[in-house]
Amino acid sequence: MGRLLTFTISESQDRRATGGNIMPKIKIGPISLTFITIILACLLCLFYLVQSNAVTTKSYDIRELESKKEQIQEENERLQLEAARLQSIKEVEEEAKDLKMVPSKKVDFLTPSSGVASK
């Protein structure tokens, strides 16, 4: 059987190798800080523009859908009136058939020839 030999570095040995710190320090100069600030400001502006564009697009879509909704409601009202008109004509025709009425063949109109009723 073989033996397994493992080497580990203790925490105290690791600190001595890096100068007492576990993580090395990162130094940022004034130029780097300015550059990072400008990049963050640009990213913030880009985020604002994207959000503003999304809101404007949604607003346009909402207006378009509201306009379509109004058109459909107007057409619905028109169709309801048409349906009511057609139903009333059908009801009159059906009532006339129930009363055994027939359409007249000849219509005579009376014209006033004498002035008896007129003044």
Amino acid at residue number 14: D
Residue 43 counted as domain residue: yes
Residue 115 counted as domain residue: no
Residue 82 counted as domain residue: yes
Residue 2 counted as domain residue: no
Whether the per-residue pLDDT at 6 is higher than 60: the answer is no
Name the domain count of the chain. 1
Q: What is the pLDDT of residues 23-74, one digit of tens each?
A: 667 777 888 899 999 999 999 999 999 999 999 999 999 999 999 999 999 9
Q: What is the pTM of this model?
A: 0.45
Domain that holds residue 40: 27-98
